[in-house]
Structure 1
Amino acid sequence: MKERAEFRTSQGVVPFGVGAIIDFLDESLMSAGLDAWPYELADPSMKPEILKSSQVVDGRLARRLSAELGRPIDFFLSPTEAPDIVPRGIPHLDRADMPFVRFPNWHFCPRCRHLKHVPWNTPWRSEGLRCHNPGRRAEGEAKPCSELPAKRRPRLSPVRFVAACEAGHIMDFPWHEWAHSGDAPACAAETAQLYLYSTTAAGLAGVVVKCVSCGSSRSMAGAFQRDALRGMSVPSCPGERPWLGPDGTVACPSLVPQTIQRGASNSYFAKLTSSILIPPYSAKVQQVLDRPDIWDEITSFTVEGKPHLPFLKTKARNLGLDEDAFISAVIERLSGDGAAAIDTYTDETRYRFDEYKAYTGARPPELERHDFDTRACDVRGYEPWFAQAFEAVVLVRRLRETRVLTGFTRLVPPDAAGGALAALSLAPKRWLPGFSVRGEGIFLQFSRERLAAFSALPETEARVGALQAQLRRIAVERGRPVRVITPAHLLIHSFAHLLIRQLAFECGYDSSSLRERLYVSDDPAHPMAGLLVYTASGDSEGTLGGLVRQGEAGRLDATVRAALANAAICSSDPLCIESEGQGTNALNRAACHACALLPETSCEEGNLLLDRVVAIGTPANPGLGYFGGVTI
């Protein structure tokens, strides 16, 4: 194994973002905080080089997060690329390794089962990661590990149990306290010799931690109960934040940490904020002005708030921009008017409404279509039943999506955590980790008239009301605000899943490479009833165009027809279609892995709030579905 492991640049934001645990062969590391990122540690003269290659520009999203987080966010940075090995030449100055810390710190020897605490900054090749235990193996009289030749001593493996709290803190499992939690007096932690054995018992009862110094032992049975660590010498969460280094510990209001497995899905929930780059922010001149280095240079040449025109003309020529457009945009931004004005809203509905209008609005000028290009289709060119169900079809030939990590939680997802996120750095930064991806998509706008009639049906209200009652019960149990869902949201979300599954089959895309973006609102000021199905890849050239082609007349209507036909039959029927609640917290009705669920990366709702009946009805009553009354 190489000392430097590799992963894709986007994976440094999600799923291996700050605070996440990543497993390598015989290694368990945690992504370090922003304070240790190459940009923060670089010499001031080197920072412009890193910005050139790693900076992600999305002024609209930066303004939104500034208002949402209550502090200025100037830009986003993607993880730096790994440095090239240049034996005879000048290395890339903008490349550097991404930082990690060792976690968990407790390791065990796979040969003698001895437990050892390893410091967080122990290098991979360190002898500290080999077993030097002088004790003999419990199962025989073989030589102890300390007497083996240095290169034959076993490498220590990280333990698979840790403890975490809902505030995002995480700590090593208290092995000494757990082993000595019986009635026998505990020996000192400094002298205790702990071993982690596996017995023939089933499950966690077969994993036993034993102190050979005093003979105390205890199995891991019951360790995962909510209050399992209460009453020991762990009265409350110590507030450890190992991703921030030794100075990251803070006071924690959590009563007691909970035991989890190191690689469990609830060990890390990233809080991502995404945005589609739309006009006028997608214009090249606006993206240039959104770069802090260029804007700071421009403002340094202003006098009483007025720009220095000769400097702006020279700057525009150097950047390859039209002089008049560049000067006009600078004046607009300095005056606080126009597209560059700072947005103070944090409402997701209003934010998405701007994107919703961009899809159905005028096509951008030819020179401004590099990051956003659309083509509206006449729904009259599709089959009649399709034109009854949808008001508009827009083929998004080019789009750019920015995804930014704003924090994370553990044990429960961010939405269920009440908004409390673990910090990414010791002190707030004026930047956040993120990355930009390009792709293409299909935008569908539902018929508002037909949707209103469907939402008013008593059967529709009953199905949505059942899910709403379940949402209310869960919110009350957790002390969280009650989320309100509408028939339109349930329908459009469920239909998006059915469409993605069919598109993946017909286009050849893997379903995990297709994503949904929902635009649903009954707010009179921001009415929305649409969805965007798109593919966004990490490649700078985007995708091959197959998805857009599938949205043309004669293809999309056939795809939707096939999606609805396949949704009418599920291998789990009649259990699935008659279900009154399934999935996590019973927040799905007629939706399971066989008919409607998608990879989690494709769904905005975590594969919840789904019901194919609202789309296709039931075998006995197709009219219950939005498309059930449409002649296909």
Structure 2
Amino acid sequence: MKVLKQNQYNQGVGKYKLLSSTSGVGSIITTKLGSYVLISDIHKWKFIKWVNSKIENIRTNNTDDRRVYELSKYEISNRGLEFIDDQRFIKFIKSEKNLENLVCLVGIPHMALNESFNTPNWKNHPIKTALKNAGEQYDGVSSHYMISGTHFPKWFKNSDGELKLIREWLTIWEKECRKYPDTLKLENFAPPRDALSKKAFIRELNSKNEDGNTIKIREYKTLEQTNLILICPNGHLSDIPWANYLRWKTEKYLRLRSDEDKGQNLMSSEMVGPCCSNPKLKWTESKTKSEGYGSIYIECNSCGLGSGSDNKPKINLEGINSLEPYCIGQKPWELDSENPSITPYENCFIRNDNKNGREKMRIALVTANNVYYANGFSSLFIPMHIAENKPKELIEAINILEKKYIKYFERTAITKNEYWRTKFDFNDFIIDNDINLENEGLFRTQLESEFLNNKNNIEISDKHEEYRWQEYRCFSIHSILPDVEINKGLRFKDIQLPNELVNLFKKIQQVEELRVTNVQLDFTRVKPKERIVVNGEVRESSSGQNIFSIDSKELFTLPANETLGEGLFFEFSNESIDRWISDNIVVLENRFEKYLKELPSHNSQGLSSKMKIYNNKYKHFLIHSFSHLMMRELEFSCGYPTASLKERLYISTNPEKQMSGLLIYTAEGSEGSMGGLISQGEPEKILEIIKKGLERSIDCSSDPLCWESDGQGIFDLNLSACFSCSLVAETACEEMNLGLDRRVLVDEDFGYFKNIQT
């Protein structure tokens, strides 16, 4: 495959990877050609921009939210895009991210690339067919359904070591195109190519134009991208200003700057500035010295700085890791392709600093782990009427009524009681909003109670726990969820528990159908965003950067990935857990003393995981360890590798929302709805699987070290658990493989399952 044209310059990225923890808006992808591409914000994705604009028009002409939702669903589906129907999730995101006008979620299209030409397989694509049927333009618009990106870092060098920004290389390319108008076009600057060096030209190649006629194309050597960038704890990203660095490092070498100067003003043209008015930088790597920054030299061919002559010492990159320039708040993922010379920015200050000190950046390799941490969220589809335990009509009516009241309250301050008594007409409300009722009297009583109930005004302290509680309650209080239209996307039923499991579990369910939707909420750099719950109060370690660049009030849609699958739900008996803890309290207190004795320090690393363990105590180790035991055993029994499975933990010691369960389901990207997983939940099989899993947990190839361990894994948050016996694929575990101890399951003295082992 030869990439010689802009319309071939594509990179295949799985759509499920785009919303994973390592990829998404603001992440840097390494292409198969060796260059680095920064994923643009979602409003540079043309299909998202189109959907947002379409919904804006619909909202302009309709005030009924139900009508807006249905029309949006029709318009999006009619163009071949996936409309993800999960209103519970939309309600949560609106609250979590303060997106008051969010209407819907849109699936990321699957755009496969032709391996021979590196172009999308558009000819028979379902979106093209849908556009054609809808009378929309479908020729030449395949790129509208692909994800946009921009080169980053912007610095490229040729084989002679000449270092320039990509826009400078493009200017040189434009001049070369004017010299050879018949055999060279702007679109041939893909990937970025060198037209400056005398050795850059390779040969002329035969190619075809748009009409299929044979033409000649001049081929040039590709440029090499640098791999060092500056990252900020607030999520900002900057290129290193190499001309400024050369001047700063020279002045440091000549003792013109203090030892305490760590390049704080490197990004300032007034305080440091470039080496000269017309820098011509050269990057050379010594072949005689050992690998490392000390063997990389930079100089300017214009002013001679860094050349090693006169009073201009040779300058290398040794010590560059100690650079700490003040951040200027750049957001290159929001670059407009039509005006790429202007990088969007914002003011950047240290978070949680009363003095509002300026934040400092640090050096990183583009491939380093700390360059990007996505903050995503996954939702298990639960129908709204089940999640909120209310009739569908009541949910719709209360939403409409609350909206009407807020609009009235903005003009005239009035209490809800006064509004209901003096301004609200129930009959007109029912007719105007086309609400069909069987018992109007009962409905009026329910609506009044919901509207006037003070609970509506209470802010839920932990929205994440409330969201999980809705899912847990759905499985816990229902023995079966039948396959009917209103529940489409979720179907499950209880199994008959074997006698040996009756006292240990409240129920086990076969989840025959489920839908899981993933979105990216924001992202951070340097450190991952941690969500910490202390005494019921939620705080986050950082706010993160948004994945959109428009005003939040103008945001009507978000990209998402939806997967269908199957699963097994286990609900432990709370009475059995309490009895187990009571019977073994002395052993458990001694074993887990270091985790539970005192509140973890608020400055400690891994605070989020430590607080979950501290809050949920022994129950966390019990349920999480059992989840891993089951995933590892299911790998043998039904053939799914653990990378194709995922856990969803329901653990809480909150007296009002006690949760003691887990869901194991087929994960994103896997073919997970073929019945292989739920077949293992048959009553005659489930006991055997649990017994075999427990038996495997007794022996570990790392014993006795693993069995007797008093701390292993990150932050020593695992006890008797290692890769040989308990850990699973990182994508399968919700808690980074932390908070595990197989001895709480199988220890012959205090194990929860000690009485059912073979």
SS at match of 1:348: helix
In 2, Cα distance between equivalents of 1:261 and 1:512: 28
* Residue of structure 1 aligned with 2:545, choices 422, 446, 462: 422
**Aligned-residue offset at 1:191:** 1.3
SS at match of 1:489: helix
- What residue in structure 1 maps to residue 421 of structure 2? none
1:42 partner letter? W
Alpha-carbon spacing, 1:207–1:411, altered in 2? closer, same or farther (3 Å)? farther
Calculate the TM-score normalised by the size of structure 1.
0.81
Q: How does 1:78-97 map to 2 (within 5 A)?
A: 78-82=107-111, 85-86=122-123, 91=132, 93=136, 96-97=145-146
- Which deviates the most, 85-94 or 363-372? 85-94
* Residue of structure 2 aligned with 1:249, choices 329, 334, 345: 345
* Residue of structure 1 aligned with 2:475, choices 355, 359, 367: 359
**Aligned-residue offset at 1:415:** 0.8
In 2, Cα distance between equivalents of 1:478 and 1:441: 30
SS at match of 1:554: helix
Q: How does 1:495-574 map to 2 (within 5 A)?
A: 495-538=626-669, 543-574=673-704
2:477 partner letter? G
CA contact (8 A) 2:377 2:519 kept: yes
In 2, Cα distance between equivalents of 1:402 and 1:371: 11
SS at match of 2:530: helix
In 1, Cα distance between equivalents of 2:320 and 2:557: 39
- What residue in structure 2 maps to residue 372 of structure 1? 490
Is the counterpart of residue 460 in structure 1 residue 588 in structure 2?
yes
CA contact (8 A) 2:23 2:374 kept: no
Is the counterpart of residue 348 in structure 1 residue 444 in structure 2?
no
CA contact (8 A) 1:581 1:587 kept: yes
1:439 partner letter? G
Alpha-carbon spacing, 1:159–1:459, altered in 2? closer, same or farther (3 Å)? farther
CA contact (8 A) 2:503 2:573 kept: yes
SS at match of 1:211: strand
CA offsets per residue over residues 408-458 of structure 1, 9 Å max, x none? Answer: 111212117614111212222243332221111111111223312333422
CA contact (8 A) 1:444 1:532 kept: yes
**Aligned-residue offset at 1:517:** 0.6
CA contact (8 A) 2:649 2:662 kept: yes
In 2, Cα distance between equivalents of 1:383 and 1:500: 23
- What residue in structure 2 maps to residue 66 of structure 1? 94
SS at match of 2:687: helix
Is the counterpart of residue 34 in structure 1 residue 34 in structure 2?
no
2:475 partner letter? Y
Alpha-carbon spacing, 1:576–1:106, altered in 2? closer, same or farther (3 Å)? farther
2:323 partner letter? L
Is the counterpart of residue 145 in structure 1 residue 225 in structure 2?
no
- What residue in structure 2 maps to residue 13 of structure 1? 19
Alpha-carbon spacing, 1:80–1:585, altered in 2? closer, same or farther (3 Å)? same
- What residue in structure 2 maps to residue 237 of structure 1? 327
**Aligned-residue offset at 1:146:** 7.1
**Aligned-residue offset at 1:584:** 2.3
Is the counterpart of residue 55 in structure 1 residue 83 in structure 2?
yes
**Aligned-residue offset at 1:560:** 1.6
SS at match of 2:346: coil
* Residue of structure 2 aligned with 1:115, choices 155, 159, 163: 163
- What residue in structure 1 maps to residue 276 of structure 2? 188
- What residue in structure 2 maps to residue 155 of structure 1? 222
- Which deviates the most, 386-395 or 5-14? 5-14
2:148 partner letter? P
In 1, Cα distance between equivalents of 2:477 and 2:169: 54
**Aligned-residue offset at 1:629:** 4.9
- Unaligned runs of 5+ residues in structure 1 are 135-142, 314-322
Is the counterpart of residue 173 in structure 1 residue 173 in structure 2?
no
Larger Cα Rg: Structure 1 or Structure 2? 2
SS at match of 1:559: helix
Calculate the TM-score normalised by the size of structure 2.
0.68
- Unaligned runs of 5+ residues in structure 2 are 56-71, 112-119, 139-143, 171-185, 205-216, 257-273, 308-312, 336-341, 351-358, 405-423, 532-539
**Aligned-residue offset at 1:202:** 4.7
**Aligned-residue offset at 1:465:** 3.0
Is the counterpart of residue 261 in structure 1 residue 365 in structure 2?
yes
**Aligned-residue offset at 1:531:** 0.6
- What residue in structure 1 maps to residue 105 of structure 2? 76
In 1, Cα distance between equivalents of 2:664 and 2:122: 40
SS at match of 2:629: helix
1:608 partner letter? L
Q: How does 1:297-376 map to 2 (within 5 A)?
A: 306=428, 345=460, 346-362=462-478, 363-367=480-484, 368-376=486-494
CA contact (8 A) 2:372 2:524 kept: yes
* Residue of structure 1 aligned with 2:573, choices 442, 447, 469: 447
1:103 partner letter? F
User: Could you say what the CA RMSD is over the residues aligned between the two structures, in angstroms?
Assistant: 4.2
In 1, Cα distance between equivalents of 2:97 and 2:449: 21
CA contact (8 A) 2:482 2:492 kept: no
1:260 partner letter? A
In 2, Cα distance between equivalents of 1:278 and 1:133: 60
CA offsets per residue over residues 135-181 of structure 1, 9 Å max, x none? Answer: xxxxxxxx543798894532123222222122111222343444441
* Residue of structure 1 aligned with 2:10, choices 4, 7, 10: 4
In 2, Cα distance between equivalents of 1:374 and 1:488: 25
In 2, Cα distance between equivalents of 1:312 and 1:120: 62
Is the counterpart of residue 434 in structure 1 residue 560 in structure 2?
yes
**Aligned-residue offset at 1:604:** 1.1
1:616 partner letter? V
CA offsets per residue over residues 83-115 of structure 1, 9 Å max, x none? Answer: 763499865859622221221212233x33433
In 1, Cα distance between equivalents of 2:11 and 2:607: 42
SS at match of 2:558: strand
